[in-house]
Structure 1
Amino acid sequence: MKRSFTNLLVFYIFGILIFYFVNISSNIIIFLFLFSILYLSYNIIKSSLNQSVLLYLFLILGISISFLHANGNLEKSLGQEVYVKGVVEHLDKKTSEIEKYIISVKEVNGKSVPKEKSLLTIIGEKDLKLGSRVFFKATLKLPMENTNPGLFNYKLYLKTKGIYTLMSIDSNAIEKIDISNIPIRYKVKEKSILTIENVFKSYLNKENNSLITSIILGDSDYLDESNVELYRDMGLAHILAVSGLHIGIISSFLMFLISRIGIKRKTNIFITLIFIWSYGYIIGYPPSILRASILFSFLYLSKIIHKPYDSLNILSLAAIILLFINPYNLFSVGFQLSFIASGSIIVFTDRITYLLYPLKGKFIDTISSLLAVNIGVSPVQAYYFNKISILGFLANILIVPILSFSLILSFIMLGIEFIVPSLNSLLGIVLNGSLNLQFFILRLIGKFPINLIRVFSPEIITIVFIFIFFFIIFEMIDISSFSKGIEKTIVIYLLFLILINIVSIKENMEIHFIDVGQGDSIYIRSGKKDILIDTGGSIFKNHNIPEKIVLPYLEKIGVRKLDAIFISHFHEDHSQGLEILLDNFKIGNIFISHIPTDPYLDLLKDNRYVLLRKGDNITIDKNTNFKVLWPIDDMDYEDNINNKSMVGVLNYKDIKVLFTGDIEKEVEESLLEEVRGVDILKVGHHGSDTSSTLSFIEAISPKIGVISVGQKNMYNHPSGRVIGIFEENKTKVYRTDKNGLVKIVIVEDGYEVSPYLIDEKKKEVYLEDYLLHNYNYFLYNLLFFLSAYILIKKSPEEELINDL
């Protein structure tokens, strides 16, 4: 089987994806696994083992191994305070306030447990050594999943690291720390990390020290967030992770040095591989370095035994090994970028070089490789980061050589530190200059007015089609080999799909109640208009809700501008994100209900704002308007900003949506005669007991109520009394603490409510529903395709265009 590992990898990945996206019962998985074992055994006995059998087996293995890694053993003790004995495996984060360690749990309540990692947060300072045994009491918790679609999933991120549970304790809660008999591997690892940190701290300035330490240790936590963003915006995120580029530079330089002192080739390769794998252990074997280590091991082995080396096949084998170890590696951004970048170099480089003929040479080879990487990783970067750098290719050409030189010089400095440390003072000057130069170039490119293009997150199927498009461009898929009939069939089939999609397009309005915790932020798309009511925020400044949730969510769904921002009132949980939105989007008008104090007043002075009052009517488009019901000019609620909240009815055709900000009982009483028969209500003040009186809810009689509220918030919102009133009124209530983002799509004949979560869990897609849905979809597409083919068969080629 040509490139057998590549074919097996594709089916293994399909199996992982099937398990992740489709709910399959454990009984079905066990049955499929046992059946596959029997099927494999039968084919071995009959000597009829072939490609199709292996592909099926790897599909089932993808499902089965994902099932085995779906939950951790410690999850059995969730919510319980347990006595834990564990070993410190890795320092994850350290600040002046907290320390985070990855702990290998050995015992729970005195009983041995299967080896499993957990993330321990210590509030305060403890400075634990790697390999030390710690004893403490803690309550096991599950990490949070994303509650808005497309945003960072912390739970899935930790699963890629083999971590399923969290523990948090005060520094004085650790009862015992045992540092006797720490295994040598931990001592070597800790000593190596400290040496790397101290060498560069001694000879480099703060910014350069954090950059080179981050690159060598593969940990971006050493870098300031602004610098991480700088590299990401320039399409250089791959540089911050230890990758094949780094391993290639290091191993090539090491082999060059060793060869110059007369050591034989085989011994040279053996020493280099020991160095590569030891280096991987020190930095914790991230997927990128495991991939690179496996690839280079096979590469050097092939040179020893003089056998041909198929890079793509071995890359696929490396991916299979990593996904056998942990199938959730597939969802790691580092894993995806690492393998896609490497695969793109292998697949596209030669074809790009051919297209650039007659230009040739090492510079052209470098250009071809960088173009190949950019072709591969750009769709993935767009999906995760929602930015594409126009000048990223230029940045790669200029920065990669400088950083390659800097990386070699850094490893020389680490070696010299043990031989002639005084020489590092001179080398440090050179390294500082090199790193200063690359920062200067990066910032200079970043100042260009046209560089970053904001893009929405493409669907996975869109990314697949993008790659198919490139395969066709580079003639990896030869469409000229198709018969004329098939070509015309495909064209007509696509025309069918386009026409049906055009016919099925309906005018609608979308309302997204974004889960921003204890705050409000509601995105509205009506026709071509993009509107935001409130920006989210928190009284806790370090939560950065607008930056972490509102801004990335808007970017992911393709928002490039905001025609209007309505600020219901100037409390942090409603308005804190105004500044960051002004920095990142073109804003039309800012509508406010009262004049705020600083810092919001300074923001408004430099931007167009409109003070709204009762009776104002804002026309959004031909179908939509926003009628203001509150505030009035002679308000006397000077000490209660909640009651200065903007209240308005959004009218879309015959559907009414009432937005109430944080108004309380006094304002509700003033509005009793103003509005009747509301379809959808944004529940006032997060469901507080100070709002949503029985008389008000009975007067407006909403069919749907949406409460924007934080999980386990300190205010105990929403009030049980309020929930009871809605139940009596037969109002269906959705809550962002339990449903995550609540999306409502309004069309001519009604509306559909789509919560992202059901009872705090992602909506499950059951196997039978999934198969039925896709069975119908498959039948529709088959019908279109067959209709096109029949049309082709019945019409002579010269009459086909006339028939169409």
Structure 2
Amino acid sequence: MNVERKIVNFTLVYIVGIIVGFNNLYLACTLIFCGICLSLGMVKIHKNYLKVIFILLPLILGIVIVNLHNIVDESLAPWEGENVEVTGKIKPKILSNNRYIIELEKINKTKLKNKPLVLIQFKKDCPEYFSWNDKVKLKGKLNGLKVATNPGQFSEKDYWSKQKVYQKIYVLEKGEVLKQGTGFFAYTFKFREKVAKKIVDLFPEKQSGIILGIILGDKSNLDEHYYDLFQKLGIVHIFAVSGLHVGYILGAYLLLSKVCKISPTFNLFFAIILLFFYSLITGLSPSVIRASLMSILVLLGTNLLKYKDFYTIIASSALVILIFNPLALFTISFQLSFITVWGLVYFSQITREIFVRFPSKIREILSISLAAQIASLPIVVYYFNLISFVAPLVNVLIVGIVSVLVPLLLATILISFGSTLVVSPLIFFCNVLLDGIMLFSDLIMKIFSSGYTFFPSPPLIGIILYYFILILIRERKTIYPYIPKKIRIITSIILVVILLLLTIPINQEIRMTFLDVGQGDSCVIQTNQNKKIVIDGGPDTTTLFNYLKHIGTNKVDLVVLSHPDSDHINGLFKVLESIKVSTLLVPPDAYNNEALQELKNIAKKKETKIIEGKQGMKLTVGGQIILKIIAPHPNNLSALDVNNASIVFIFTYGKQDILFTGDVENKGIEKFVNQLDEVEVIKVPHHGSKSSDSAELYDNTNPSMAIISAGRSNQYNHPHQDIVKKLKKRKIETFRTDKNGAIILKVKKDRLKPTTTLVN
């Protein structure tokens, strides 16, 4: 075993222990038992105690530490769902959107021995500004953290539980500072606030939003247009504090120290102080801590130990982080940081061969950028469902500008505390660079409007296979001589077949996902021919769009708007703006509705076909699916309001009929109810409102299943209890988004299979 790589091997086995211990405690115990037995056998045979300990120790450590760290603090459980008064200290973690982490000392005058961490959230229109270590008193409602209620959705609970936070307090009134924080952390936070204020004062709004992201990691003020644009271009990481920024700052400092001829010992000392201070003003960002730790290890190894094995350095920094918090292994930032850094070095040998005809300096820049993109691609796709084809090129250009911009901005801000006049030329130059970044980004997106694609999250086996193939390519000169030609050919064929099987759609059923959009409606249908149908968009702009991204949607074949109320139409605007839509089906606009007109205008701009749905119309999707419109009839529109003029249609596939009803009420139902025959599933009208309680509707349709889309604890008390009781009395199996989360209905020609995101 290579002496220099013992830490690498130790770290890898420790990571295996974390993964096993986190996912399956019984398997972990079995492995420990088998490992002990195996180790005892090896000791008896080989008498090599150190080797046995080296193999077994990291595995057991990983299993034990992750399970100790994963113990849920339930001390606040008795107060969940109640209004509480709490006292505690603000912790040194910077959050945005009026949020803080507080270490609780008291709740309703009850002292807490273990001092649990809690996320506190203020109203958007009532911001509070606290400093680290401030002792505060707050009144609010204590709740558990939100779980993901839709496939692929962000889970607040999963994210914060990895940081030992299990509850959230929604602050009901202004907080009270009992004692202002003192000490180094508190003063650092106050300095950070001064820096933020200085940025806002010195630069225009759009530019200051970008600078706050670049320098402090605060993306809350980043212009929405440019945030979306940077994501599509694959450069959003530049505008959030990360290891890249640590590299910029450290590089600028080392260049300055070289000019000033600072001795290596003092150089190391000042570099550590600089990185420590930068970590503090960025709010102890995990990515900055990781990069700073890695940089310090590099400096220590090269300056004091005269040792610079790259893999040992990144393994050492990963090990330190995972010992203190083993759950960091499962965070996006940890995975991206280490895989990208590893890929920069490991895969650059492959990428250099691609740019072999380029001049040496350009080849090096392009190969490093491409190596980072190749290494991080599966992780980016898995979490963000987006592939940017222009990212390698754009990163090269933008990273070059930002490498100058970051130290320049820091110098400008620090000097401005002494004199604003002196820094005027620097401010001008910074604005020129920032304007250049924005103009260049807009230009690239106009030229390469289709320079990105949405992609579904790949399976774990696909990710493993991706890295396996890349490693084979990277190590081909080393391993190929030892593998017979026939084995190489067979292995290549097997890998190609597996990749094809992973990409060929094998879905023989239709998948309907009734999304949990709160108090509203939205449904996405994926057909067995990979067609996409969207029915309503819900009240917000993100839930539907994020789900479509999650399943890798680049084209929607049909969008159906039942009626233009905000809880049905709002989510469709972003879909039409960002994804190609072939056809838009809308109700007849007898009311000159502004939102509907706006949606139609977007559709016309995007060259989407617009159809007004009327009774008797039939639409065919993929040759096997028929949408038969039951209502509204054009002659009835003058007597109906917007809800009762909803498009009502029957979705038919084989023997399965599913009735979609929009927000139609009894007045509208009576106009078409006599035309209805039996269906298998009914989407309950108007979120289960009492105004849609039509006995004749259920008599005629006689459904075996009902789906209700409603928000939790909504102000309308939907669904009405009379509706729920009558559905139960009729023995209709009922699913509700407020109780079950997203409802997934798998439809085959002869049967239905419902599943839910939440299990009650």
1:290 corresponds to which residue?
Answer: 289
Equivalent in the alignment of 2:139: 137
Deviates more, 1:390-399 or 1:613-622: 613-622
Partner of 2:475: 475
User: 2:691 aligns to what SS in structure 1?
Assistant: coil
Partner of residue 652, structure 1: 653
**1:519 counterpart SS class:** coil
Counterpart of 2:84 (choices 74, 78, 82) is: 82
Counterparts of 1:617 and 1:358 in 2: how far apart (Å)? 59
* Shift, 1:307, TM fit: 3.3
The separation in 2 between residues aligned to 1:389 and 1:497, in whole angstroms, is 25
Closer, same or farther: CA 482–78 of 1 in aligned 2, 3 Å = farther
Q: C-alpha deviations, 1:281-319, integer Å up to 9, x for none?
A: 222221211111111111111123343222223212322
Quick check: 2:141–2:172 contact (8 Å CA) kept in 1?
Answer: no
Hey, what's the Cα distance between the residues in 2 that align with 1:10 and 1:145?
Answer: 31
Question: Which runs of structure 2 are paired with 1:162-173 in the superposition (5 Å)?
Answer: 162-172=164-174
| CA-CA distance at 1:567 after TM superposition | 1.7
Flag the 1:612–1:210 CA change in 2: closer, same or farther, 3 A: closer
Decide whether the 8 Å contact of 2:651 with 2:657 is kept in 1. Answer: yes
Q: What is the TM-score when the length of structure 2 is the normalising length? A: 0.89
CA distance in 2, matches of 1:661, 1:275: 60
Which piece of structure 1 moves more, 440-449 or 1-10?
A: 1-10
- 1:475-495: per-residue Cα shift (whole Å, max 9, x none)? 368456334564465467669
In the alignment, is residue 524 of structure 1 matched against residue 541 of structure 2? no
Partner Cα distance (2:68, 2:482) in 1: 39
Q: What is the CA-CA distance between 1:556 and the residue it aligns to?
A: 1.7
Partner of residue 188, structure 1: 187
> Which residue of the partner structure matches residue 549 of structure 1?
543
Partner of 1:588: 582
Q: What SS class does the counterpart of residue 122 from structure 2 fall into? A: strand
Aligned residue type for 2:225: S
Whole-Å separation in 2 of the counterparts to 1:34 and 1:111: 41
Instruction: Answer whether contact 1:514 1:523 (CA < 8 A) is retained.
Output: yes
* Cα deviations by residue, 1:204-241 (Å, 9 ceiling, x for unpaired): 33333332232111222232222222222221122123
Deviation at 1:551, TM superposition (A): 1.1
C-alpha deviation, 1:734, in angstroms: 1.3
Is residue 160 of structure 2 the alignment partner of residue 158 of structure 1?
yes
Instruction: List per-residue Cα deviations over 1:132-154 (Å, max 9, x = no partner).
Output: 21123333211212211112222
Distance 1:503 1:592, change over 3 A: closer
Inter-partner Cα distance in structure 1 for 2:345 and 2:503: 40
Report the aligned-residue RMSD.
3.3
Q: Is the 8 A contact 1:694 1:725 kept in 2?
A: no
State the match for 1:347 in structure 2.
346
Q: SS state of the match for residue 507, structure 1? A: coil
**1:717 aligned counterpart, secondary structure:** coil
In structure 2, relative to structure 1, the CA distance for the partners of 1:36 and 1:548 (3 Å cut) is farther
What pairs with 1:417-456 in structure 2 (closer than 5 Å)?
417=416, 422-456=421-455
What is residue 258 of structure 1 aligned with on the other side? 257
Partner of 1:627: 628
Q: Tell me the secondary structure at the aligned position of residue 114 of structure 1.
A: coil
Match of 1:57 among 53, 56, 60: 60
Equivalent residue number for residue 600 of structure 2: 604
Aligned pair in 2 of structure 1 residues 757, 6: CA closer, same or farther (>3 Å)?
Answer: farther
Change in CA separation of 1:186 and 1:51 when aligned onto 2, cut-off 3 Å: closer
Query: 1:114-133 counterparts in 2 under 5 A?
Result: 114-123=114-123, 124-133=126-135
Structure 2: how far apart are the matches of 1:30 and 1:138?
42
Distance of 1:38 and 1:199 partners within structure 2: 63
- The whole-number CA distance in structure 1 between the counterparts of 2:425 and 2:496 is 67
Alpha-carbon distance in structure 2 between the residues aligned to 1:192 and 1:18: 43
Which runs of 4 or more aligned residues in structure 1 lie more than 6 Å from their structure 2 counterparts after TM superposition?
28-45, 494-504
SS of 1:658's equivalent? strand
Residue 690 of structure 1 aligns to a residue whose secondary structure is helix
How far apart are 1:444 and its partner, in Å? 1.8
Letter in 1 for 2:461: I
1:789 — aligned with what? none
- Residues 36, 56 of structure 2: 8 Å contact kept: no
Q: Equivalents in 2 of 1:643, 1:629: separation in Å?
A: 12
Measure the CA separation in 2 of the matches of 1:354 and 1:130: 50
Unaligned runs of 5+ in 1: 539-544, 760-804
SS for the counterpart of 1:221 is coil
For the 8 Å contact 1:104–1:116, the answer to whether it is kept is yes
| Cα shift readout 1:621-652 (whole Å, capped 9, x = no counterpart) | 33221222222233267453222222222111
Distance 1:515 1:168 in 2: 22
Kept in 2, the 8 Å contact 1:509–1:746? The answer is yes
Q: Classify the secondary structure of the residue corresponding to 1:284.
A: coil
Q: 1:51 to 1:92 in 2, by over 3 A?
A: closer
Q: Distance in 1 between matches of 2:186 and 2:408?
A: 26
Three-state SS of the structure 1 residue aligned to 2:537 is coil
CA distance in 1, matches of 2:703, 2:598: 38
Question: Are the structure 2 counterparts of residues 46 and 238 from structure 1 closer, same or farther at C-alpha, using a change threshold of 3 Å?
Answer: same
8 Å Cα contact 2:681-2:705 kept in structure 1:
yes
Matched AA of 1:548: T
How much does 1:34 deviate?
A: 9.2
Give, in whole Å, the separation in 2 of the partners of 1:498 and 1:200.
49
Aligned partners of 2:749, 2:35: CA distance in 1, in Å?
Answer: 50
Q: Aligned residue for 2:514?
A: 513
* Distance verdict in 2 for CA 1:555–1:125, change over 3 Å: closer
| Structure 1 position 14, deviation (Å) | 4.5
Asked if 1 retains the 8 angstrom alpha-carbon contact of 2:462 and 2:502, the reply is no
Which amino acid letter does the alignment assign opposite residue 246 of structure 2?
Answer: I
- Deviations 1:738-768, CA, capped at 9 Å, x for gaps: 2222111222442221212112xxxxxxxxx
User: What secondary structure sits across from 1:467 in the alignment?
Assistant: helix
Match of 1:364 in 2: 363
Q: In the aligned structure 2, how far is the partner of 1:130 from the partner of 1:498?
A: 51
Deviation readout 1:166-186 (Å, 9 max, x if unpaired): 1122334x3x42235x32223
| Unmatched runs of 5 consecutive residues or more in structure 2 | none
Give the Cα separation in 2 of the matches to 1:193 and 1:293: 18
**Structure 2 residue 669 is matched with structure 1 residue 675:** no
Matched to 1:600, the amino acid is L
CA contact under 8 A between 1:709 and 1:736: conserved in structure 2? Answer: yes
C-alpha separation in 2, matches of 1:499 and 1:347? 27
CA contact (8 A) 1:646 1:661 kept: yes
Distance 1:506 1:467, change over 3 A: closer
2:707 aligned with 1:713: no
Cα distance in 2 between the residues matched to 1:210 and 1:531:
37
Which amino acid counterpart does residue 642 of structure 1 have in structure 2?
A: N
Give distance in 2, aligned partners of 1:498 and 1:390: 20
The question of 1:112 aligning with 2:106 is answered no
Greater shift in the superposed pair: 395-404 or 725-734? 725-734
Which stretch of the first structure deviates more once superposed, 353-362 or 597-606?
353-362
Amino acid at match of 1:464: I
Q: CA 1:493 to 1:688, structure 2 compared with 1: closer, same or farther past 3 Å?
A: same
Percent of pairs with identical residues: 26
CA distance in 2: counterparts of 1:502 and 1:303, whole angstroms: 46
| Structure 2 residue aligned with 1:661 | 662
Whether the 8 Å contact between 2:94 and 2:284 is mirrored in structure 1 is no
Whether the aligned pair in 1 keeps the contact of 2:629 and 2:650 (CA below 8 Å) is yes
- Tell me if structure 2 keeps the 8 A contact 1:523–1:530: no
Q: CA deviation at 1:724?
A: 1.8
Residue 653 of structure 1 and its aligned partner are, at CA, apart by 1.0
Partner of 1:208: 207
Q: CA deviation at 1:273?
A: 0.7
Q: Distance in 2 between matches of 1:502 and 1:583?
A: 27
* Partner deviation per Cα, 1:467-510 (whole Å, 9 max, x = no partner): 22222232368456334564465467669879999999463222
What is the total number of aligned residue pairs between the two structures?
Answer: 742
